[in-house]
Amino acid sequence: MKRWMLLLSCAAWLEPAAGSGDRLVYSVSSGEWDKYPRLLKTEIFAFDRQTGKSQVIFSDAGAGFLLLPAYPGSAEEQVIVASGGRVFARGIERKYYTTGWPTFPVAVYELATDGSNAARKLFDIEGEYGSSNFRNLFGNPSGSEVGHLNYLGDKLYLFLHETTAGALLRKIDLSAIALDCLVSKIGWMPDGKRIFFTLETGDVSATSKASYARAGSYLMEEDGGKPVHIPGDVAFHPTRPGYLFDESQPILLGTLPDAHYLFSEFQWSQAAGRSPQNFLFSVDPVTKAWKDFPTGAQGNLTSFRLSYSGVVAFIESQTQQEIGSQTVWSMEPGSGKKEKVFSLSTKPMVLPWLNLIGWLPVGK
């Protein structure tokens, strides 16, 4: 049996760094490979940006359920979230688990963040015909509510649950707005009353003509009010010398402390090789003024996680001579200060599952 193991670079940890008190939360899952991938354990870590140290705050190794992180290669899919000093995650009872990433029967759990490994099930995730299309778990600023998306009867629904007992608060039909589009990012605004999301088109063969007009970013009241399309002069592609953009949409990541929207996007370099380049930029929704925040990254950027205090984390992935590496960075867009959190290296036939989760305040 071939075992997929995790190789952490021992020299990758930084000296203590000054900055926000937020702690970056991420998970690392280990497993094995024979005919199918099989998860064995997921550990959740919190990295303290003030001390430069990381510690395990939860492990499912001895739990009666198994955490189901995002599938390798789908880093944008968030199924574990930090919200209001709490962590919520998708999991499956171990008695139902055999191999791979099952979708049903699964549930959302609240996980303790004090290292006690305590957990409680909040609610079961909806499914049909023995499977589920659950995706995009997210939480409000206080942690009092969590939301997720699911397809039922070929319609896209947004489900909102309170987190005291897991009761369903609202089931909102988004299919009339989304049509054939995919939700690439969804979250709460800092006011805890509005939800934002970005719609993107998929394959041409699976996208109706009408759906292209729906692509873009939206705001909606959490009580289910009609989503409002953010104008194209706010959610736009900045013009950069030497770069061209395609039909993909800038992804709204959230709001910075100055109330400016933060977007991520990629544009195509017109230099030799015509390579894609990732960009972060903010837009003032009133004046429409925009500002780039250079990441200095050379590889592909994924898993952007923005804190309410204005710190963004992301993963930079690179491959050289069949050796892959994933580097986690944190960055303060306001100051441009960027810090390396750690690097994780892989070799052929070795696959660690790394997922960025979000942010916890120090002491939580």
Q: Mean of the pLDDT values across residues 138-152? A: 97
Min mean pLDDT across 4-18, 195-209, 263-277 is at 4-18
CB atoms closer than 10 angstroms to residue 162: 14
CATH (residue range 2-360):
2.120.10.30
Q: Cis peptide leading into 361, omega within 30 of 0?
A: no
Question: Which tens digit of pLDDT belongs to each residue from 194-212?
Answer: 999 999 988 877 788 899 9
Identify the pLDDT of residue 8: 31
E strands, 130-209, in order: 135-139, 145-152, 155-162, 168-173, 182-188, 194-200
Contacts of 98 (CB under 8 A, 6+ apart): 38
Least confident window among 31-35, 81-85, 268-272: 31-35
pLDDT of residue 12: 27
CA distances from 118 to 61, 62, 229, 256, 357 (A): 12, 10, 41, 33, 18
Extract the tokens encoding 85.
């000093």
pLDDT exceeds cutoff 60 at 350: no
Closest CA to 184 of 218, 139, 140: 218
- Report pLDDT for 126: 96
Confidence of residue 306 (pLDDT cuts 50, 70, 90): very high
Task: Output the six-digit token pair for 265.
Answer: 């996007």
**Length of the chain counted residue by residue:** 364
Q: What is the dihedral of CA 239, 254, 111, 127, to 10 degrees?
A: -80
For residue 144, pLDDT over 90 is answered with yes
Q: What is the mean pLDDT of residues 95-116?
A: 94
Task: Report pLDDT digits (tens) over 230-244.
Answer: 999 999 988 888 888
Domain range annotation of the chain: 2-360
CA atoms within 13 A on the CB side of 234: 18
